[in-house]
Amino acid sequence: MKHVFWPVDLVDVDTHPVGNALVLGVRLEHSAIVVINVVTYHEPQQLIDLGVLRQKTRGSLELANTESSVSIVGYFGEIPEELRTDELLEFTIDHGIITTDSRMTVLFDPPPPNSMQFYTLLPISISLTPSKRSSPKTDSFMKLIKEHTPGPPLDPCEELLSLSIDTLNTCWTERQKLVRDIPGIEKHWEAASILSPFRQLVSTIKSSFMQLYLPFVLRPMTSVLLYLIIAARHVCLILISLLNKRLSQDLPSLIEISATAQQIDLRLQQFCYFPIQYLRTTRLASLSHEGAMLLPKDQYPEYIRFYNTLWLIVNDLTIGLMVRAILLEHQTTISSFIDKFVVQRLLSSEMDNISVWLMNSPGGIKLNNELSMFMSDLFRWILEFWRVFMIGPIAPHYGTIINIIGLSSIFGATFSVALFSDFLSVITFHIYCFYIASAKIYHWQLDIMYSLFQLFCGKKRNVLRDRVDSNDYEVDQLLMGTLLFTVNVFLLPTVLAFYVMFSFTELIIIMITGSLEILMTLFNHFPLFVTLLRIKNYKRLPGGIRFSTDKGMVRVHIKALTLSEVFAPFTNVLQSAKSSYLSASTLKGILTGYAVQVERRKLYKLLYSALPSTRMSTADLLEQIKRIL
């Protein structure tokens, strides 16, 4: 069935009384029509005098605006013979109900571009999709693949609806274009009132002020500021490369071992992306018809991401000032607590007691005395090395460290959390050494026992082909294998006791640092601006369209994003954290003796979902600035 999309503000009978009127609109494919405006008149000559109509040929008239896609699509009342064609529809209005022959009327509310409202069939994306984060080379390959890969045929109804929705978003722009091209046309969407002369005076004063202020004050200041930002951006790119640089292939980069470096890298990348986001969001104020058609799908989500990042940074700075005040006020108490309770008692005395306890039949379990004594002495040597060479130099400076963490809060609470996480990693380094040493010994013993078990089964590991082959062993080889397997079986409980204890201790440290990193994720990635926008004006977060009935006519509405869609990027980050700490691979690594380590690059991968994978070059950015300025 054919449709006529009719603006809601043109339905009011008081504002638009029944009489002679021309209906202006856009004809789409398959004869669907989107109404733009209604022009009332008494005589056709009145429209010619206003410049709305012009003489096309002798005995025929046409709309004066021929360059636009807007044309005369129908009429109310009587129409001049010079305009009458078979394509024109005759509309009637009765108590606010628009009717016409053989067409369904669909009401819609024209979205003003300045209000950032628009219709869309699919929910907008809060984070950058993988396609938008790919490189230009990958994009060109994907384009070639799409061109040479046959896809399913498009549904004509869906294609028409998509085209209609895009045209609905340009309704307000087309109205403004008509006023610009045909100054005499009546502005039906602005109701006349006693304040109209005052509004016109204010508009004139504002226009005159902007004509003087924009070229002589605002534009030069904006140019200087943007070029300063470009210079700062270049410095940030150098710092980012240093943070991600590896001294050798086997050594990790700084952001892989330090939460503070990771946070600095994130802030630097956000700062480098700000000029690009600003250039894209400033295009909202001056859109062409084609730009308005593309804006809802491509540009507006960038606006949301830009201001969500700004809100998070402001919120981070505000909370950081509070954290700084608390740390500086209670500096002595906090440093004393760290020194006496955390370091001396928990990390030093208790760990020493655990090593002695494991050496003397823990829990009544009889262990190998020589092996348990050797491993206990080994860990106590590591503990003594940690006391002398790591805690000794920094112990007198706990107050200074608290001051540094407090001062770093000026840049945001995330920096204080990141510094504390790194500080915790430093003072628990001996526990990490305990865990790595016991895990290596435990894993080697399991590997030896597995190899000896293969010997009993007549199997042999083929390293070259990476498989297990059959093999015939001599009797002396089997006897030697049996003796070695028996020794390893009896030594396994001793190694397992040390491994379980230090693995449990290390997992506690990992849970604490993981909680701190999840807190950093909350400050860096929480959809704060999106949530406030969802509460204030849900139409600015379109998640599709819905239909309802209004006075016997169908009405299309903007459907808001659901809460699950709003929090989807943040939920993905939490899922990434969960997979890093609580997963089957992590459990398997613990059982088999593989060292479980936090992969910060993988954990923070989704934190960069609002940033492109490839950064725009400085030359391209300068070219974009010159186009705007």
* DSSP structure string for 289-310: HHHHHHHHHHTHHHHHHHHHHH
User: What per-residue confidence (pLDDT) applies to 432?
Assistant: 93
Distance CA 204, CA 200 (A): 6
* Percent of the chain with pLDDT strictly greater than 70: 76
Evaluate whether residue 239 is within a structural domain.
no
Instruction: Give residues with Cβ within 8 angstroms of 467, minimum separation 6.
Output: none
- Determine which of 61-65, 521-525, 614-618 has the lowest per-residue pLDDT on average: 61-65
Which residue blocks in 457-567 are alpha helix, DSSP H?
475-525, 528-536, 563-566
Q: Which residue has the tokens 């009717």?
A: 99
pLDDT of residue 528: 87
CB atoms within 10 A of CB 177: 19
Query: Is 573 among the domain residues?
Result: no
* Class of residue 411 by CB neighbours under 10 A (exposed 0-12, middle 13-18, buried 19+): middle
The pLDDT score that the predictor gives to residue 527 is 85
How confident is residue 292, by pLDDT bands cut at 50, 70 and 90?
very low
**Other Cβ atoms within 10 Å of 558 Cβ, number:** 20
Give the residues across from 599 on adjacent strands: none
Tell me the CA end-to-end span of the chain in Å, nearest whole number: 48
DSSP 409: G
**What's the angle, vertex CA 344, arms to CA 339 and CA 346, rounded to 5?**
110
| pLDDT at residue 164 in the model | 83
Q: Is residue 36 part of a domain?
A: yes
Residue 320 lies in a domain: no
Supply the mean pLDDT for the chain. Answer: 79
In a domain, 100, yes or no: yes
- Of the two residues 105 and 129, the one the predictor is more confident about is 105
Domain boundary among 126, 161, 181: 181
Do the Cβ atoms of 566 and 527 come closer than 8 Å? yes
225 confidence band (pLDDT: 50, 70, 90): confident
Of the two residues 444 and 276, the one the predictor is more confident about is: 444
| Bridge partners for 37 per DSSP | 24
Average pLDDT over residues 590-611: 69
Contact 466, 406 (CB under 8 A): no
Any domain includes 52: yes
SS (H, E, C) 253-291: CHHHHCHHHHHHHHHHHHHHHHHHHHHHHHCCCCCCHHH
Q: Among 271-285, 528-542, 601-615, which stretch is predicted with the lowest mean pLDDT?
A: 601-615
Q: Please give the average per-residue pLDDT across 67-88, as a whole number.
A: 78
Q: Does residue 172 or residue 64 have the better pLDDT?
A: 172
Q: Mean pLDDT highest for which of 93-97, 146-150, 382-386?
A: 382-386
Question: What are the distances in angstroms from CA 455 to CA 442, 462, 483, 544?
Answer: 20, 13, 12, 65
Say yes or no to pLDDT of 180 above 90.
Answer: no
Residue whose tokens read 């025929």: 60
Domain ranges, residue 520: 328-525
Higher pLDDT, residue 461 or 408: 408
pTM: 0.77
The answer to whether 89 and 73 are in contact (CB under 8 A) is yes
Q: Which of 525, 560, 581 is the last residue of a domain?
A: 525
Residue 194 banded pLDDT, cuts 50, 70, 90 = very low
**Alpha carbon distance 282, 290 (integer Å):** 16
Q: How confident is the model at residue 210 (pLDDT cuts 50, 70, 90)?
A: low
Range in 195-204, 411-420, 466-475, 608-617 with the lowest mean pLDDT:
195-204
As given in the structure block, the two tokens for residue 283 are 């295009």
Question: CB of 308 within 8 A of CB of 566?
Answer: no
SS3 599: coil
| Max avg pLDDT among 82-86, 268-272, 344-348 | 344-348
Closest CA to 604 of 628, 560, 574, 582: 574
- On whether the CB atoms of residues 118 and 173 are closer than 8 A, the answer is no
pLDDT for the residue numbered 590: 84
- DSSP 3-state assignment of 62? strand
Across the range 393-418, mean pLDDT stands at: 93
Phi, psi of 155 (to 5 degrees): -70, 125
Q: Which of 153, 175, 12 is nearest to 96 (CA)?
A: 12
Neighbours of 62 (CB within 10 A): 15
Domain contains 537: no
Mean pLDDT calculated for residue range 46-75:
69
> Beta partners for 90?
75
What are 500-518's pLDDT values in tens digits? 999 999 989 988 988 888 8
Q: What is the pLDDT of residue 313?
A: 93
Q: What is the pLDDT of residue 294?
A: 46
Overall domain count for the chain: 2
| Alpha-carbon gap, residue 437 to 443, rounded angstroms | 10
Least confident range from 61-65, 230-234, 528-532: namely 61-65
- The pLDDT score that the predictor gives to residue 148 is 58
Which amino acid is residue 289, in one-letter code?
Answer: H
Per the model's pLDDT, the better-predicted residue between 449 and 54 turns out to be 449
Tokens, residue 135 = 């490189």
Q: Which segments within 514-583 are labelled E, that is strand?
A: 542-550, 553-560
Any domain includes 307: no
Q: What is the pLDDT of residue 155?
A: 60
Extract the tokens encoding 44.
Answer: 């056709």
Last residue of a domain, one of 493, 525, 557: 525
Q: Give pLDDT, residue 436.
A: 93
Handedness of CA 381, 387, 393, 394 (dihedral sign): positive
Tokens representing 281 are 């969001």
Average the pLDDT over 610-622 and give the result.
72
Q: In what order do the strands lie in the sheet with 97-99?
A: 97-99, 89-94, 71-76, 21-27, 33-40, 3-7, 104-108, 553-560, 542-550
Q: Average pLDDT for residues 122-150, to the nearest whole number?
A: 57
Residue 289 confidence (pLDDT): 42
Query: What pLDDT does residue 290 have?
Result: 44
Q: 413-427 and 259-282 are packed helices; what angle lies between their axes, rounded to 10 degrees?
A: 160
Helix ranges (DSSP H) in 116-218: 136-148, 156-169, 171-181, 196-213
The CA–CA distances, whole Å, from 375 to 80, 85, 370, 378 equal 104, 99, 9, 5
- Rounded distance between C-alpha atoms, residue 382 and residue 401, angstroms: 24
Distance CA 524, CA 320 (A): 13
Whether the pLDDT of residue 544 is over 80: the answer is yes
pLDDT band at residue 451 using 50, 70 and 90 as cut-offs: confident
